[in-house]
Amino acid sequence: MEPAELVQASGSDKTRRDFLKTGILAVSGIISAAAVYPIIRLALHTTPPAPPVFVDAVLLSDMPEAGVRRIDLSLEKDGRPDARVFVKRTPDGNIIALSAVCSHLGCIVNYDRIKDQFVCPCHGGRYDGNGKNISGPPPAPLTRLPVRIAGAYIQVGIRKPPV
C-alpha cells in the first residue's frame, strides 16, 4: 500500500470516529437529561402552603398581663395536638404566638419565667423572650405564628402537619 492511500484511509477513519464520538455524546446527553429531569422538576415543584386555620387558643380574660401560656392546639376533634404553642403578652401589650418546637431537632422547649427565655431540654438551646435563638445549637428562631382576637378568644393560626 502506498503512503498516500494510508493517509486517505486514516482520514476516513478519523471522520467515522468523530461521527461516532459525537453520536455517543449526544445519546448519553439525552439519557442524562432524561434521568435528571424528574429530579429537577421535583425540586422546583413547590406547592404554596395551605393558609393557616385559626383555632381558639385561650380566652382573652385568661391571658395573664405579663406572662406566657403554653397550649396544645388541635385541628381535629380527636384531641391529638397538631401544634404546641406559647401565647405571650409582650411588655408593650401585644400578643404573640410562638411554636414550642425547637428549631434544632424538634424537642419541645420550656419557658423560663425568671429569665424570660425559652429553653430546650434536649441540648440546652436558648431563645430570648421573642423566640430569637441566642445560644446553643438552634439554627433559627422559634416559628412565629399568626394571632388574632375573635370575640372573647385569642386565636392562633396553625397548619395541618404534612402527611
3-state DSSP helix/strand/coil percent for the chain, to nearest 5?
A: 30, 30, 40
- Exactly one of 14, 115, 123, 144 binds ligand FES (CB under 6 A); which one? 123
Does the footprint of ligand FES cover residue 157 (CB under 6 A)? no
Within residues 46-75, the interface with ligand FES by CB under 6 A covers none
Q: Which of 24, 26, 36, 105 binds ligand FES (CB under 6 A)?
A: 105
Strands of 147-150's sheet in order across: 53-59, 153-158, 147-150
Binding-site member from 122, 128, 132, 141 for ligand FES (CB under 6 A) = 122
Angstrom distance (rounded) from CA 111 to CA 113: 6
Residue 103 or residue 155: which is nearer to ligand FES going by CB? 103
Position 137 contacts ligand FES (CB under 6 A): yes
Nearby residues of 57 by Cβ (< 8 Å), 6 or more positions away: 69, 71, 73, 85, 87, 97, 153, 154, 155, 156
Nearer to ligand FES, 110 or 130 (CB): 110
With cell 406559647, the residue in question is 86
Residue whose CB is less far from ligand FES, 125 or 129: 125
Task: Give me Rg for the CA atoms of the chain.
Answer: 31
Interface residues with ligand FES (CB under 6 A) are 102, 104-105, 107, 120, 122-123, 125, 136-138
